[in-house]
Amino acid sequence: MKSLVEITNMIKTYVMGSNVVRALDGIDISINSGEFVSIVGPSGSGKSTLMNMIGCLDVPDSGLYMLDGVDVSALKDKNLAGIRSEKIGFVFQGFNLLQKFTALENVELPLIYRGFTHRKRKQMAIEALDRVGLADRMHHKPTELSGGQQQRVAVARALAGDPPVLLADEPTGNLDTHTGAEILDMLDTIHSQGNTIILITHDNMLAHQAKRKIEIRDGIITNDEEVRK
């Protein structure tokens, strides 16, 4: 299978006062297209930094990052926005929907930045909402939706442009157990339809819902195993 995410010896340091924190201390990861991978680690392990790197929100100090055949580590901020727009779909812990927009408008937003025509992006957004089972709620604003529904809108937003990577950062963190399980089931279904999903969490139980679990601690990968058939 084709390698979608290829990270080699990635290093990222932060200066916190007089301390230099090595958030990523030589990471090597290879994720193939179609995988469902979880990255798990306690807070301060460097998993958020790694997510920012995979999601092209930040650039590493050194190391190589090939995303879908593009050397992202050498790109400038302006081009990173373009990569995020085309290659990455984000799902956040806090949903991060725009409160003043309806569900449909929220899902359309990344498509606007991709430059799709009005008709095309409406059609794509409705399809994505349909995939998460919220087509009938598309004219509701986030405040009129439950937490689980809001997260499903966020998943639809991430899926709408059909990006190669779906990056979910603690997607169940703000939800109760039952709703969280529903969201995970949905991610599993989406994975089974062929999407690549990277799940970032501190919860080991949750991490086992993926097919492959990568453990990170102090900026180093400590374990990488298949957890579910």
Partner 1 sequence: MNFLQSLKMALSSIFSNKGRSFLTMLGVIIGVAAVIAATGFAEGSTASITESIEALGSNQLTVSITGRNSNRDVDYEDFREFTDEYPDLISKMAPTVSGSSTIKYGTNSSDSVSVVGTSPDYADIQDMHVQNGRYILELDMEYRQKIAVIGTAVVGELFDGADPVGETIKIDGTPFIVVGVLEEKDGGQDGGEDDTIIIPVTTAQRVYKSSTIRTFTVLVNDSERVDEAQETIEAFLTDVYQSEDAFRVFNSAMILDTLSDVTQTLAIILGGIAIISLVVGGIGIMNIMLVSVTERTREIGIRKAIGARKSSIMIQFIIEALVLTGLGGILGILIGIGAIYTIISNFVPPVVAPTWALMSFLFSLFIGLVFGIFPAYKAANLNPIEALRYE
Q: Does 157 bind partner 1 (CB under 8 A)?
A: yes
Binding pattern to partner 1, positions 174-213, x when CB under 8 A?
----------------------------------------
Size of the site for partner 1 (CB under 8 A): 26
Helix (H) or strand (E) holding 194: none
Percentages helix, strand, coil for the chain, rounded to the nearest 5? 40, 30, 30
Residue 152's Cβ-side half-sphere holds a number of Cα atoms within 13 Å equal to 26
Alpha-carbon gap, residue 40 to 215, rounded angstroms: 5
- H or E, element range at 67: strand 62-67
Min CB(77)–partner 1 separation in Å? 7
The residue range among 35-43, 77-85, 141-149, 189-197 that interacts with partner 1, by the rule CB under 8 A, is 77-85
Structure tokens at 151: 């997260």
**Contact flag: residue 85 with partner 1 (CB under 8 A):** yes
75 binds partner 1 (CB under 8 A): no
Which residue type occupies 73? S
Is the separation of the CB atoms in 205 and 217 below 8 Å?
A: no
Q: Which of 100, 120, 139, 228 binds partner 1 (CB under 8 A)?
A: 100
Binding flag, residue 114, partner 1 (CB under 8 A): yes
- Contacting positions for partner 1 (CB under 8 A): 52, 55, 57-58, 77-78, 81-82, 84-86, 90, 92, 96-98, 100-101, 109-110, 112-115, 157, 161
